[in-house]
Amino acid sequence: MTTPTLRLPDALEALRDRLADAPLGLATPDRDTARRSAAEVTHQIDDYLLPRLRDLGAPLLTVVGGSTGAGKSTLVNSLVGAPVTTAGVLRPTTRSPVLVCAPADLGAFSGDRVLPGLPRVTGAAGGPGTVQLVGSDAVPPGLALLDAPDVDSVVESNRELAGQLLAAADLWVFVTTAARYADAVPWDLLRTAQERGTALAVVLDRVPPEAAAEVAADLAGMLDRAGLAGARLFVVEERALVEGRLPEDQVAPLRAWLHALAADQEARAAVVRQTLTGALDSLEQRVAGIASAVDGQTRAAGALHAAAAAAYAAARDGVDEGVRSGTLLRGEVLARWQEFVGTGEWMRALQGQVSRLRDRVVSAITGRPTPADDLQGALENSVERLLRAEADRAAERTVTTWRSLPGGADLLAGDDRELEQVSPDFPEAAAAQVRDWQGAVLDLVRSEGADKRSQARILSWGVNGAGAVVMVAVFAHTGGLTGGEVAVAGGTTALGQRVLEAVFGDAAVRSLADRAREDLQSRADELMAYEQARFDQRVDGVVPDAAAADGLRAAVRDLATARRTAA
Amino acid sequence: MSRRDAPLADRLAALREAVEVADGRLEVPEVGRARALLAKAGARAALGDATVVALAGATGSGKSTLFNALSGGEVSTPGVRRPTTGVAHATVWGEDGADPLLDWLEVPRRHRHEPEPALDGLVLLDLPDHDSVKLEHRLEVDRLVGLVDVLAWVLDPEKYADAAVHDRYLAPLAGHAGVLLVVLNQVDRLDAAAEAACLADLRALLDREGLGAVPVLAVSARTGRGVAELRGELARRVTARRAATDRLAADVRGAAAALAEHAAADGAAPLGRRERERVVEDLGDALAAAAGVHAVTAAVERSAHRDGIARTGWPLVRWTRKLRPDPLERLHLGDDRARTSLPPAGPAELAGVTTAVRRAREVVGEGLPQAWRDDLRRTAEVTEADLADRLDRAVAGTDLGPDRVPLWQRAVGGLQWLLAAVALAGALWLLVLVVLGFFQLDDVVPLPRVEGLPLPTLLVAGGLLAGLLLAVVSRPLVALRARRRARAAERRLRAAVDVVAEEDVLEPMAEVRADADRFRSAVDRARK
């Protein structure tokens, strides 16, 4: 890479911007996961990584998270020794997070430094999605406790907010209970914490005193197996609450641990470093997942494009096939030729006979049947009909194929009926093209015919010359007595010229027909391309940038370079 | 008649009809699910009317404790470690024939309870948890939730608002409110006020999910509070002996509601007569062009013309007409089993047919949902594929109209022969005269003269001239008759082609529409 090495925050910002632009518009199977993952990474960069990198010495943000009803709020109140957050029996209890810190640290959290997307409220609790700030002397400086909403209740916004808050934490205090500790949802989060290297403490709450040892051992075993052996485990027994708080002896170990952490500059820095490094390390894999989803988008878009292209290529072939079979085109060119050469009915019939004879000979040799020639059929109409039928077929084929392709059904979005036939202005455009084509054929005949006409004349002079020789011969033999030479002269001139014109005209018509076919084909291509564009635009509308995945990967590489330089 | 009272048999019959109609027509997963439900209904009906009640719930909600409290003994072992129960347990009250039912449910652990009049016929299941890290527990719950008759969801104050139970199980069971029961266990952990608040919150949550009709019972399996009420509720359902049918009816309603996604809106009436006629005419135009009706009528005209000329023409030259082949003969018509020699349709004609079939499809498919229009497209594709052969047979088999020789043509023909005979007579007479002249007997036979011209000469000239004149005069008449004959043939051919349009193109499509209508009414009956 020749790009200049970026500073770490700049590299993160660049990555975040790339993620915001990542095209995830096609409903591929992994799209929603990738979208969620992209949002999570973006939030984590804004909420945690950037603020933490800018100020490594800022107070430690400890997020108390876990299942609904696990007693998070009660635990926080008990730690602080004051009812700072509402505990209760209704689930979910906490809907807006509460952040408790030493009064001196309030300044560190009131600004937009951490969690810039969430408004701050002081005094009474704010609405959902706001952070309530509480200063308390019971919390040592350098440490903030955040009571997060649950991770698993029916309130979806809670779950999302909790995820965002946990991603912003320097330290997780994960609260679970004796009834819950094997639930699938919290374990998913614990696994995430393990993958991201987040510093973690686990509180096993509401443990019946008689089962405390057994349950704690079981949970410790589970943590161990999940690779979380380093996490501190605190057991809180289920006892009657004292003024809404846990008995002092149950929370003391946890409080002591937290206070020690707050007091020990080095330990705190170690926690910060662990979570920060883990989060940065995890970015690579998470973004790789998003990038591969973006790749999937590009592939899906390619398949959709290909389906439309195949259908319309078939349509173009169909038009070509129809035109190539002969009559359609030769009829048109022949009529124009005859108009131009100005031959009469007899001439017309003669030419018709000659071309039919040829067709018959050709079909006898090639075995192909002579097509029905019905030149009277309105030609303009036939070509239009052919174009229309092929375009309709292609549209329908595209829609049908799209429905079975990933993201295709979504892209059609209820417009199937409209899309599975030609666009509304197609008939008019086709009629205009066919008219133009006919004009072009006339021009072609005119320019070609002008010089063919003189050639025909020269050739017919040749015939006339031969006729003259015959005349002389007849005259010499009969001594001019029978007058036969007069008949020969008349016959030669009239018939010879006509026959030649007919034969010659047919050849000219054939070569002209080929050129007219090419012209019609290019016009048909244009029409079909316009039709196909309706589909292509839909795909391009949601997948604009084919290089987005590479951009993401490059941003991650830049980030890695920036980290190496910073280290 | 209330919703619930429509007999299950009728509902099942309606659903079966809907599935049969959809078979081979609709390619949607809902049909497969409905078919599976029918199989399940058949199997369940054969296993008697015992009531299978399942206690389902999260890990740690106390299902097993409650199960034991109801069973009156330690049947399922509750534990403090999570997750606990991994396989389902069953307790059977009385009923001897419950074993096949439990075999069908694939529940191997069974406990037989002392007969108890109120609960005889109850099969109580303790399900594994649905929310722990053990995926196999969840799969077992999913399987049994689909089979049992009554579902009692055991919640607890800690977990009652979990997304795992509400989003995955309760909300999707909104149509099954009649066979659901929600139990809030472990109420002993709450004080009275908290319990009331908690129950009210749970009630509101269920109401929001469309489960307003589901009873909520506060129970404490540990202290025994509320267990009697729960037992009473179960007894009520067992004695009614209709839990199984209620469950199936709810399932059928659900399956029918899913199928209704693919049923036509109420407005999709059968095709009107005028619409039909318009479609047939439009199709007929395109098919006639493709079938070569024009070529046949032209041949008919030329053939009639040729025959007419041969009949009324000048006898001296009219035989030359016979040298030319009959254009109609060459087409090899008249036998609908043999292929005609008509040239195949050109691309423009085929395009015309495609477009006309498409237009017909659009008319027929008006108001039908996508799945049915897909079937319509497939049907039309099949039709279009063998349309060429069908048209050819129709044209070959068409009677082109009576080929009677018109009287006047016969008369003219006879007259021509008469005139020819007259001319011949004159010629013979002249020959006789020549012979007589040779023998110098000119004057033996008197030579009658008309206006000074000898009669035989007059006969020869007159006969020939009159014949020629007659031939010339009858020519336009022959042409007129040939045109008329061609028009008659065209009408008949067109009628034959219209029959093809109606029977081979429109009819299969109309059948799709009729089936869509039948499907809709069957689905409506199944879910009403």
If chain A, 567 residues long, is cut into consecutive pieces of 10 residues, what is the mean pLDDT of each piece? Answer: 67 90 84 90 90 87 88 89 83 84 88 83 76 89 89 84 88 90 88 88 90 90 89 89 86 92 89 91 90 90 93 91 66 56 51 62 52 41 83 92 88 82 89 82 71 56 52 50 53 52 61 78 92 91 80 90 84
**Which residues contact residue B215 at a Cβ distance below 8 angstroms, ignoring those fewer than 6 apart?**
B181, B182, B233
pLDDT of residue B53: 93
Q: What pTM did the predictor assign?
A: 0.77
- Token look-up 């003219």 returns B412
pLDDT of residue B155: 93
B201 interfaces chain A, CB cutoff of 8 Å:
yes
Residue A262: name the closest of A61, A50, A48 by CA: A61
Strands B150-155 and B180-184: parallel
Q: Which of B129, B159, B368, B375 to mutate to test the interface with A (most CBs of A within 10 A)?
A: B159
What confidence tier does B328 reach under pLDDT thresholds 50, 70, 90? confident
pLDDT of residue B241: 84
Residue A167: name the closest of A179, A159, A176, A175 by CA: A159
DSSP, collapsed to helix, strand or coil, labels residue B180 as: strand
B401 interfaces chain A, CB cutoff of 8 Å:
no
Segments in A228-344 forming alpha helices (H): 248-263, 265-324, 327-341
Q: Which one is predicted more confidently, B162 or A90?
A: B162
pLDDT of residue A371: 40
Min distance A384 CA to chain B CA atoms (Å) = 9
Could you give the percent of chain B with pLDDT greater than 70?
96
Q: Which of B82, B195, B341 to mutate to test the interface with A (most CBs of A within 10 A)?
A: B82
Q: Which tens digits make up the pLDDT trace of B198-251?
A: 999 999 999 999 999 999 999 998 898 999 999 999 999 888 888 888 899 999
Out of A311-315, A485-489, B261-265, B432-436, which region has the weakest mean confidence (pLDDT)?
A485-489
**A374 neighbourhood in chain B, CB within 8 Å:** 294-295, 346
Nearest residue on chain B to A372, alpha-carbon basis: B343
pLDDT of residue A335: 58
Q: Indicate yes or no: CB of A214 within 8 angstroms of CB of B81.
A: yes
Q: Which of B163, B348, B351 sits opposite A152 (nearest CB)?
A: B163
Q: Which of A69, A184, A322 sits opposite B347 (nearest CB)?
A: A322
Which DSSP helix (H) or strand (E) runs through A161? helix A156-167
pLDDT of residue B205: 93
C-alpha–C-alpha distance, residues A245 and A528, integer Å: 75
pLDDT of residue A480: 47
C-alpha–C-alpha distance, residues B252 and B52, integer Å: 18
Segment B463-481 mean pLDDT: 89
ipTM score here?
0.75
C-alpha–C-alpha distance, residues B286 and B352, integer Å: 6
Q: Indicate yes or no: CB of A154 within 8 angstroms of CB of B162.
A: yes
B426 interfaces chain A, CB cutoff of 8 Å:
no
Question: Strand locations in B72-120, DSSP E?
Answer: 89-93, 109-113
pLDDT of residue A352: 62
Nearest residue on chain B to A154, alpha-carbon basis: B163
What confidence tier does B1 reach under pLDDT thresholds 50, 70, 90? very low
Tokens of A250: 């149950």
- What is the number of other CB atoms lying within 10 angstroms of the CB of residue A562? 20
C-alpha–C-alpha distance, residues A559 and A567, integer Å: 12
B156 interfaces chain A, CB cutoff of 8 Å:
yes
B381 interfaces chain A, CB cutoff of 8 Å:
no
Is residue A108 within 8 A of residue A143, CB to CB? The reply is: no
Crossing angle of helices B63-71 and B227-240, in 10° steps, is 70
Min distance A444 CA to chain B CA atoms (Å) = 24
Q: Is the pLDDT of residue B182 over 90?
A: yes
Min distance B269 CA to chain A CA atoms (Å) = 20
Crossing angle of helices B370-385 and B347-364, in 10° steps, is 150
C-alpha–C-alpha distance, residues A556 and A10, integer Å: 12
B157 interfaces chain A, CB cutoff of 8 Å:
yes
Segments in B209-292 forming alpha helices (H): 227-240, 243-260, 273-291
Residue A85: name the closest of A128, A127, A132, A151 by CA: A132
C-alpha–C-alpha distance, residues B244 and B53, integer Å: 10
The terminus-to-terminus CA distance of chain A in angstroms comes to 19
C-alpha–C-alpha distance, residues A487 and A475, integer Å: 11
pLDDT of residue B233: 92
Which DSSP helix (H) or strand (E) runs through A236? strand A232-237
Out of A464-468, B95-99, B240-244, B444-448, which region has the weakest mean confidence (pLDDT)?
A464-468
Q: What is the largest CA-CA distance in chain A?
A: 150
pLDDT of residue A326: 55
Q: Indicate yes or no: CB of B342 within 8 angstroms of CB of A372.
A: yes
C-alpha–C-alpha distance, residues A202 and A254, integer Å: 10
Phi/psi at B46 (5° precision): -75, -10
Tokens of A182: 């094997």
C-alpha–C-alpha distance, residues A388 and A394, integer Å: 10
C-alpha–C-alpha distance, residues B71 and B120, integer Å: 12
Q: Indicate yes or no: CB of A69 within 8 angstroms of CB of B347.
A: no
**A156 neighbourhood in chain B, CB within 8 Å:** 163
**Which residues contact residue A477 at a Cβ distance below 8 angstroms, ignoring those fewer than 6 apart?**
none
Residue B126: name the closest of B191, B172, B74, B200 by CA: B74
pLDDT of residue A63: 92
Crossing angle of helices B507-527 and B243-260, in 10° steps, is 140
Q: Which of B156, B161, B194 sits opposite A153 (nearest CB)?
A: B161
**A179 neighbourhood in chain B, CB within 8 Å:** 58-61, 82, 156, 158-159
pLDDT of residue B336: 65
**B163 neighbourhood in chain A, CB within 8 Å:** 152-154, 156, 159, 185
